[in-house]
Amino acid sequence: MTGSPSEPYDLAVVGAGPAGLAGAVTAAELGLSTVLLDASGRPGGQYFRHPAPGLGATRPGALHHDWPAFTALRRRLAASDVTHLAHHHVWTVTRRAADDWTVHALTGPDGDDGKPVRIRARAVLLATGAHERHLPFPGWTLPGVVGAGGAQAMLKAGLVLPGRRVVVAGSGPLLLAVASSLTAAGAHVPEVVEAAGYLGYARHPRALATNPHKLVEAAVHGTALARHRVRLRPRSAVTAVHGTDRVEAVTVSRLGPDWRPLPGTGRRVPCDALAVGHGLVPQTELATGLGCATRRTPDGTDALLLDAWQETTVPGLWAAGETGGTGGWQLARVEGELAAVAVTARLRARPGLTTGRRVRDLARRRDRMRAFAEAMAAAHAPGAGWTGWLTDDTEVCRCEEVTAGRVREAVDDLGARDARTVKLLTRAGMGWCQGRMCGAAVAALAAAGRPDGAVPPSPARRPLAVPVPLAALAALPEDPDGPDGPEDH
Amino acid sequence: MPLSNSPDVIVVGAGVVGAACAYYAARSGLSVTVVDRGPVAGGTTGAGEGNLLVSDKEPGPELDLALLSTRLWRDLAAGLPDGAEYEAKGGLVVARDAARMTALRAFARSQTAAGVTAQEVPADALHDLEPHLAPGLAGGFLYPQDAQVQPALAAAHLLRASGARVRTGQEVTAVLTGASGEVRGVRTRAGDLHAPYVVNAAGTWGGEVARLAGAHLPVLPRRGFVLVTEPLPRVVRHKVYAADYVADVASGSAALQTSAVVEGTPAGPVLIGASRERVGFDRTLSVEALRRLAAGATELFPVLAGVRALRTYAGFRPYLPDHLPAVGADPSVPGLLHACGHEGAGIGLAPATGLAVARVLTGDEPPLDLRPFDPGRFTGVTA
Ligand SMILES: Cc1cc2nc3c(=O)[nH]c(=O)nc-3n(C[C@H](O)[C@H](O)[C@H](O)COP(=O)(O)OP(=O)(O)OC[C@H]3O[C@@H](n4cnc5c(N)ncnc54)[C@H](O)[C@@H]3O)c2cc1C
Ligand SMILES: Cc1cc2nc3c(=O)[nH]c(=O)nc-3n(C[C@H](O)[C@H](O)[C@H](O)COP(=O)(O)OP(=O)(O)OC[C@H]3O[C@@H](n4cnc5c(N)ncnc54)[C@H](O)[C@@H]3O)c2cc1C
Q: Measure the N-to-C terminal CA separation of chain B; round to a whole number of Å.
A: 32
pLDDT in tens, A456-480: 777 778 999 999 999 999 999 887 6
Q: Which of A289, A470, A485 is facing B309, going by the closest CB pair?
A: A470
Q: What is the pLDDT of residue A63?
A: 54
- Residue B342 predicted with pLDDT over 90: yes
Using the atom order of ligand 2, give the atom closest to the CA of residue B46. 29
How far, in Å, CA of B71 to CA of A109, rounded?
Answer: 51
On chain B, the residues whose CB falls within 8 A of the CB of A483 are: 279, 286, 288
On chain B, the residues whose CB falls within 8 A of the CB of A481 are: none
B16 lines ligand 2 (CB under 6 A): yes
B288 interfaces chain A, CB cutoff of 8 Å? yes
Closest protein CA for atom 39 of ligand 1: A128
A129 lines ligand 1 (CB under 6 A): yes
Torsion angles phi and psi, residue A453, rounded to 5 = 70, 0
Using the atom order of ligand 1, give the atom closest to the CA of residue A323. 26
Q: B27 C-alpha to center of ligand 2: Å?
A: 23
Closest CA to A194 of A372, A379, A333: A379
A177 lines ligand 1 (CB under 6 A): yes
Please give the average per-residue pLDDT across A191-220, as a whole number.
68
From the CA of A119, which ligand is nearest? 1
- One DSSP character per residue, A436-458 reads TTTHHHHHHHHHTTSTT-PPPP-
B341 lines ligand 2 (CB under 6 A): no
Cis peptide before B25 (omega within 30 of 0): no
A332 interfaces chain B, CB cutoff of 8 Å? no
Contact A468/B308, CB-based, under 8 Å?
yes
B39 lines ligand 2 (CB under 6 A): no
Q: What is the pLDDT of residue A161?
A: 87
pLDDT in tens, A281-308: 999 999 999 999 999 999 999 999 999 9
Task: Give the A window 424-463 contacts with B, CB below 8 Å.
Answer: 424-425, 427, 430-432, 434, 450, 461-463
Q: Which of B152, B256, B312 is facing A487, going by the closest CB pair?
A: B256
- Residue A50 predicted with pLDDT over 80: no
How far, in Å, CA of A124 to CA of A35, rounded?
Answer: 10
CB A341 within 8 A of CB A353: yes
Closest approach of chain B CAs to the CA of A468, in angstroms?
5
A465 lines ligand 1 (CB under 6 A): yes
Pocket test for ligand 1, best of A38, A47, A134, A335 (most atoms within 8 A of CB): A47
Q: What is the pLDDT of residue B276?
A: 80
- Residue A316 predicted with pLDDT over 60: yes
User: Quick check: ipTM above 0.85?
Assistant: yes
- Residue B116 predicted with pLDDT over 50: yes
Closest CA to B345 of B370, B376, B311, B320: B320
Closest CA to A25 of A71, A61, A68, A94: A71
Q: Which residue of B has its CA nearest to A399?
A: B231
Q: Measure the N-to-C terminal CA separation of chain A; round to a whole number of Å.
A: 36
Query: What percent of chain A is predicted at pLDDT more than 70?
Result: 88
Q: A427-444 b/e with 16+ CB inside 10 Å = b?
A: bbbbbebbbbbbbbbbbb
Q: Which of B153, B248, B311 is facing A434, going by the closest CB pair?
A: B311
Closest protein CA for atom 1 of ligand 1: A149
What domains are defined for chain B?
9-49+152-218+322-378 (3.50.50.60), 91-144+220-319 (3.30.9.10)
Q: How confident is the model at residue A220 (pLDDT cuts 50, 70, 90)?
A: low
Average of per-residue pLDDT values in chain B: 91
- Residue A200 predicted with pLDDT over 80: no
How far, in Å, CA of B15 to CA of B75, rounded?
Answer: 20
Q: How confident is the model at residue A65 (pLDDT cuts 50, 70, 90)?
A: low
pLDDT in tens, B10-52: 999 999 999 999 999 999 999 999 999 999 999 999 998 899 9
Instruction: Choose the mutation target among A425, A426, A430 for the interface with B, i.e. most B CBs under 10 Å.
Output: A425
A86 interfaces chain B, CB cutoff of 8 Å? no
CB B172 within 8 A of CB B205: no
A18 lines ligand 1 (CB under 6 A): yes
CB A270 within 8 A of CB A165: yes
Amino acid at A252: V
Q: How confident is the model at residue A213 (pLDDT cuts 50, 70, 90)?
A: low
Please give the average per-residue pLDDT across B107-134, as a whole number.
96
Average of per-residue pLDDT values in chain A: 88
On chain B, the residues whose CB falls within 8 A of the CB of A290 are: 284
Give the lowest-confidence range in A71-75, A99-103, A151-155, A214-218: A214-218
Close Cβ partners of B376 (under 8 Å, ≥ 6 residues apart): B330, B331, B332, B382, B383
A155 lines ligand 1 (CB under 6 A): no
CA A324 to chain centre: 10
Contact A473/B40, CB-based, under 8 Å?
no
Q: What is the pLDDT of residue B82?
A: 67
Closest approach of chain A CAs to the CA of B292, in angstroms?
7
Closest protein CA for atom 15 of ligand 2: B344
pTM, full prediction:
0.92
Please give the average per-residue pLDDT across B262-269, as a whole number.
89
How far, in Å, CA of B167 to CA of B190, rounded?
Answer: 10
B206 lines ligand 2 (CB under 6 A): no
- Residue A483 predicted with pLDDT over 50: no
Angle among Cα B278, B281, B285 to the nearest 5 degrees reads 85
pLDDT in tens, B357-383: 999 999 999 999 999 999 999 986 554
pLDDT in tens, B214-262: 999 999 999 999 999 999 999 999 999 988 745 545 554 433 344 678 9
Contact A414/B40, CB-based, under 8 Å?
yes
Q: What is the pLDDT of residue A297?
A: 95
How far, in Å, CA of B11 to CA of B168, rounded?
Answer: 12
Q: Which of B169, B229, B311 is facing A462, going by the closest CB pair?
A: B311
Angle among Cα A369, A375, A377 to the nearest 5 degrees reads 100
Q: Which helix (H) or strand (E) holds A167?
A: strand A166-170
Contact A484/B156, CB-based, under 8 Å?
no
Please give the average per-residue pLDDT across A318-325, as a whole number.
97
Give the lowest-confidence range in A132-141, A211-220, B238-247: A211-220
Q: Which residue of B has its CA nearest to A451?
A: B169
On chain B, the residues whose CB falls within 8 A of the CB of A473 are: 227, 290-291, 293-295, 309
Sheet containing B191-194, strands listed edge to edge, beginning at the edge strand earlier in sequence: B172-177, B183-188, B191-194
More confident residue, B278 or B355: B355
From the CA of A181, which ligand is nearest? 1
Q: Which of B14, B228, B295 is facing A474, going by the closest CB pair?
A: B295
- One DSSP character per residue, B70-132 reads HHHHHHHHHHS-GGG--B---EEEEESSHHHHHHHHHHHHHHHHTT---EEEEGGGHHHH-TT
- One DSSP character per residue, B135-199 reads TT--EEEEETT-EE--HHHHHHHHHHHHT-EEE-S--EEEEEE-TTS-EEEEEETTEEEE-SEEE
On chain B, the residues whose CB falls within 8 A of the CB of A424 are: 41, 46, 152-153
How far, in Å, CA of B220 to CA of A149, rounded?
Answer: 47
Task: Give the B window 221-240 contacts with A, CB below 8 Å.
Answer: 227-231
Give the lowest-confidence range in A332-336, B80-84, B201-205: B80-84
Q: What is the pLDDT of residue A59?
A: 52
Contact A484/B306, CB-based, under 8 Å?
no
Q: Which of B42, B152, B255 is facing A487, going by the closest CB pair?
A: B255
Using the atom order of ligand 2, give the atom closest to the CA of residue B222. 53
On chain A, the residues whose CB falls within 8 A of the CB of B155 are: none
Instruction: Choose the mutation target among A89, A119, A285, A470 for the interface with B, i.e. most B CBs under 10 Å.
Output: A470
Contact A470/B42, CB-based, under 8 Å?
no
What pairing do the DSSP bridges indicate for beta strands A468-469 and B9-12?
unpaired
How far, in Å, CA of A346 to CA of A357, rounded?
Answer: 18
Q: Quickly list H helices, A228-356.
A: 285-288, 329-347
